[in-house]
Amino acid sequence: MQNAPDGTLAAEEITPGELRLAARNHALPLEALRYPITPAGLHYLLIHYDIPPVDAAVFRLEVSGAVERPLSLTLDDLRAREAVSMPVTFECAGNGRALLSPRPLSQPWLTEAVGTAEWAGTPLAPLLDEAGVRPSAVEALFTGLDRGIEGGAPQSYERALALADTEGALLAYEMNGAPLPPQHGFPLRLVVPGWYGMTNVKWLTRITLLEQPFDGYQNAVAYRMYGAGGEPGDPVTRMQPRSLMVPPGVPDFMSRERHLEPGPGPLTGRAWSGYGRIERVEVSTDAGASFAAAELDEPLGEAAWRGWRFEWEATPGSHVLSSRATDAAGQTQPLDAPWNLKGYANNAVERVPVVVGPA
Amino acid sequence: MQNAPDGTLAAEEITPGELRLAARNHALPLEALRYPITPAGLHYLLIHYDIPPVDAAVFRLEVSGAVERPLSLTLDDLRAREAVSMPVTFECAGNGRALLSPRPLSQPWLTEAVGTAEWAGTPLAPLLDEAGVRPSAVEALFTGLDRGIEGGAPQSYERALALADTEGALLAYEMNGAPLPPQHGFPLRLVVPGWYGMTNVKWLTRITLLEQPFDGYQNAVAYRMYGAGGEPGDPVTRMQPRSLMVPPGVPDFMSRERHLEPGPGPLTGRAWSGYGRIERVEVSTDAGASFAAAELDEPLGEAAWRGWRFEWEATPGSHVLSSRATDAAGQTQPLDAPWNLKGYANNAVERVPVVVGPA
């Protein structure tokens, strides 16, 4: 019950169900870490059900439940409100799942279910103020237009947040300066900086203020840290710190093993955390036996990944390269992350095998 | 050595190498068949090596080899030439591979490695005329900027075409009205209507006119129809006819099995062939035992998929739905496609299991 020792997959093979999910959803190709803002088609994507068809002309966002003045807003209404834009890093809560052993069965992510986009929209807080949230309200439930079956029950994708956790949230209608692409929630999605991706409800059509904590599937069943015996633990919330590198050299097609020539050159990458700014990134070129500090780029934004750079003299032979992040909360990535039943929040340090040989 | 009988995967599980490829590359989520022109981030993607970094300001397309007047063209030079735009359907030659048994080891595609974009650029033929192709030239070799290792050898991705097969080819710099995204070949790619996707070399930087047939990896080794004993057969060329439907109803998250309510409703989808216009699409709602004609949409273009529609009364119970295409060359999709070692051109009829139940 730990990460595979060399960063490769455990011996068990992938099941057909996992393959069906992997064919639809996709990770960030790691070389795309070179872009500070991820182009839309390269950003990771996890879609629970189907991308719903949406007619923007008849679309409404309804705000109801424990409010004084229920709202029904068109996209134009939302666009006419205060607008803000910010780079935000999203990571799937299941990132790293396929490296756990035994491997939890769901979307079989390796390490790269991440991306950073420039999200533009209107802040949630003034809109809730306008609706007049009643003092009795404790949570806001965000419901998408996508429907499917999960845990045996038909449902819309929906997740609730405690009101305090909605601070800083955005109702986004643009990604990287263009209307949201269908797969990222057109025409409207929630963006909650710092939280794992499941929080950022796509195709957002309803916000319901609740007077009791939500006990629906995605909060009460799905996104929780279960033990091996199935005992439910804490909910999955903010992103644990993680760093990834742009794999150096060139890949072998089938194995994706990296090959490069000897000599000096930079290793580069990006690191992020949902618990505050990245304060330190360290790099290991000896399979995690020792680490040395990388140079950090200026922050891209308070809720976005931070670039780093490390000079390395590649010597002939096989090496395992790693980077690890430490955030402002003092948390450092572990070499092995604790196992949990559904494979969430595995932020174990990456292991990138490379072969350095003569040109 | 045939397709799995119910359209599901064969019993053998997916290997770690296949998963690494599946995490990077991605198929068209089948509900995105609803869009006549596929949004960029939903179009299938197969990248042999890495997406290369390209500086458009210093980019050049070189035309050399057996020509009278070698050319070196900037992106502005290319944009100043005659421009054409057309919708073209691309499909990966390995589409359907993961449904073969035994399963050839490579990118484990199910049925949905397809997409249709509006490609704009300049026609290849006048450019070759300007360079003055020598009568001794027999093939044009198209070389991309992406490098990797395949079959044990470091190489650039490159593929050659007989000169007659370059007719109608486009050097594309726009996809869906915007500059090519990095993953689709920015700043320039080849588009050869009707051929499988490997033909459409991305990050195109060199065209070399050859006086002998090219014996490089992608033509001589990779994209060929091998027998079970490894004996090399014909090269992979044009897309075989294929039809896919928008899966009706809603999915179960993990199995992707479809669930819908009883009653009348349309089944819709799209069909294409590299051998001419789609002339007929038929639908089966009884696991391929019988087929009935669907209604065809007007063609979107000569090189693009064609929409279809079929009215179905969904009755309670389990059903397997299929559609199959017939093209202008008189070719109809088979229920089972012949097996080949590398899993190319498997255009066996789709099988979509659905469960119809009360609401």
pLDDT per residue as tens digits for the range B205-249: 999 999 999 999 999 999 999 988 888 899 999 999 999 999 999
Nearest CA in chain B to A43: B41
Measured between CB atoms, which of A14, A109, A247 is closest to B13? A14
Nearest chain B CA: its distance from A69 CA (Å): 33
Closest CA to B279 of B254, B259, B308: B308
With beta carbons less than 8 A apart as the criterion, state whether B158 and B48 touch: no
**What pLDDT digit, counting tens, does each position of A222-256 carry?**
999 998 888 889 999 999 999 999 999 999 998 89
Distance CA A345, CA A196 (A): 9
Q: Answer whether B252 touches A (CB < 8 Å).
A: yes
Is B24 within 8 Å of A27 when comparing Cβ atoms? yes
Does A145 score more than 50 pLDDT?
yes
Nearest chain B CA: its distance from A73 CA (Å): 26
**What pLDDT digit, counting tens, does each position of B40-65 carry?**
899 999 999 999 999 999 999 999 99
Q: Answer whether B358 touches A (CB < 8 Å).
A: no
Is B49 within 8 Å of A250 when comparing Cβ atoms? yes
Task: Please give the pLDDT value at position B228.
Answer: 85
Does A12 score more than 70 pLDDT?
no
Measured between CB atoms, which of A19, A184, A247 is closest to B14? A19
Per-residue confidence band for A321, with pLDDT thresholds at 50, 70 and 90 = very high
Whole-structure pTM value: 0.95
Does A165 score more than 50 pLDDT?
yes
Distance CA A95, CA A27 (A): 9
Q: Answer whether A307 touches B (CB < 8 Å).
A: no
Within 17-46 of A, beta carbons closer than 8 Å to B belong to: 17-27, 29, 31-32, 34-35, 39-43, 45
Nearest CA in chain A to B107: A254
Mutate to test the interface with A, among B9, B28, B31 (most CBs of A within 10 A): B31
Task: Please give the pLDDT value at position B337.
Answer: 87
Q: Which residue has the higher pLDDT, B14 or A314?
A: A314
Nearest CA in chain B to A252: B149
Task: Please give the pLDDT value at position A2.
Answer: 38
Distance CA B259, CA A5 (A): 41
Q: Answer whether A289 touches B (CB < 8 Å).
A: no
Q: Answer whether B300 touches A (CB < 8 Å).
A: no
Task: Please give the pLDDT value at position B313.
Answer: 97
Task: Quote helix, strand, coil % in chain A, to nearest 5.
Answer: 15, 40, 50
Residues in A touching B108 (Cβ below 8 Å):
19, 23
Report phi then psi at B76, rounded to 5.
Answer: -65, -40
Per-residue confidence band for A9, with pLDDT thresholds at 50, 70 and 90 = very low
pLDDT tens series, chain B, 359 aa: 334 433 344 435 677 788 899 999 999 999 999 999 999 899 999 999 999 999 999 999 999 999 999 999 999 999 999 999 999 999 999 999 999 988 898 999 999 999 999 999 999 999 999 999 999 999 999 999 999 999 999 999 999 999 999 999 999 999 999 999 999 999 999 999 999 999 999 999 999 999 999 999 999 999 999 988 888 899 999 999 999 999 999 999 988 999 999 999 999 999 999 999 999 999 999 999 999 999 999 999 999 999 999 999 999 999 999 999 999 999 999 999 889 999 999 999 999 999 999 75
Q: Answer whether B8 touches A (CB < 8 Å).
A: yes
Neighbours of B146 (CB within 10 A): 24
Residues in B touching A105 (Cβ below 8 Å):
254
Task: Please give the pLDDT value at position B230.
Answer: 87
Closest CA to B287 of B337, B244, B321, B248: B321
Average pLDDT of A24-43? 96
Nearest-5° angle of CA A188, CA A191, CA A195?
150
Is A22 within 8 Å of B19 when comparing Cβ atoms? yes
Does A103 score more than 90 pLDDT?
no
Q: Answer whether A253 touches B (CB < 8 Å).
A: yes
Average pLDDT of A82-91? 98
Buried b (16+ CB within 10 A) or exposed e, A312-326: bebeeeebbbbbbbb
Task: Please give the pLDDT value at position A122.
Answer: 98
Nearest CA in chain B to A109: B23
Residues in B touching A184 (Cβ below 8 Å):
41
Distance CA B216, CA A190 (A): 49
With beta carbons less than 8 A apart as the criterion, state whether B172 and B180 touch: yes
Mutate to test the interface with A, among B3, B19, B38, B46 (most CBs of A within 10 A): B19
Nearest CA in chain A to B43: A41
Distance CA A128, CA A336 (A): 41
Task: Please give the pLDDT value at position A229.
Answer: 87
Distance CA A215, CA A207 (A): 16
Mutate to test the interface with A, among B9, B250, B257, B259 (most CBs of A within 10 A): B250
Within 155-184 of B, beta carbons closer than 8 Å to A belong to: 181-184
Is A42 within 8 Å of B259 when comparing Cβ atoms? no
Q: How many residues are given for chain A?
A: 359
Q: Which amino acid type is present at position B211?
A: E
Measured between CB atoms, which of B16, B22, B40 is closest to A19? B22
Measured between CB atoms, which of A16, A150, A259 is closest to B9? A16
Mutate to test the interface with B, among A3, A46, A50, A186 (most CBs of B within 10 A): A50
Residues in B touching A154 (Cβ below 8 Å):
250, 259
Is B26 within 8 Å of A24 when comparing Cβ atoms? yes
Task: Please give the pLDDT value at position B13.
Answer: 67
Is A255 within 8 Å of B148 when comparing Cβ atoms? no
**Which residues have a Cβ under 8 Å from the Cβ of A94 and sit 6 or more positions away?**
A46, A106, A107, A109, A113, A342, A343, A344
Within 229-248 of A, beta carbons closer than 8 Å to B belong to: 247
**Which residues have a Cβ under 8 Å from the Cβ of B322 and sit 6 or more positions away?**
B283, B284, B287, B288, B291, B349, B350, B351, B352
Is A254 within 8 Å of B22 when comparing Cβ atoms? no
Nearest chain A CA: its distance from B255 CA (Å): 5
Average pLDDT of A294-300? 97
Within 81-140 of B, beta carbons closer than 8 Å to A belong to: 98, 105-106, 108-110, 112
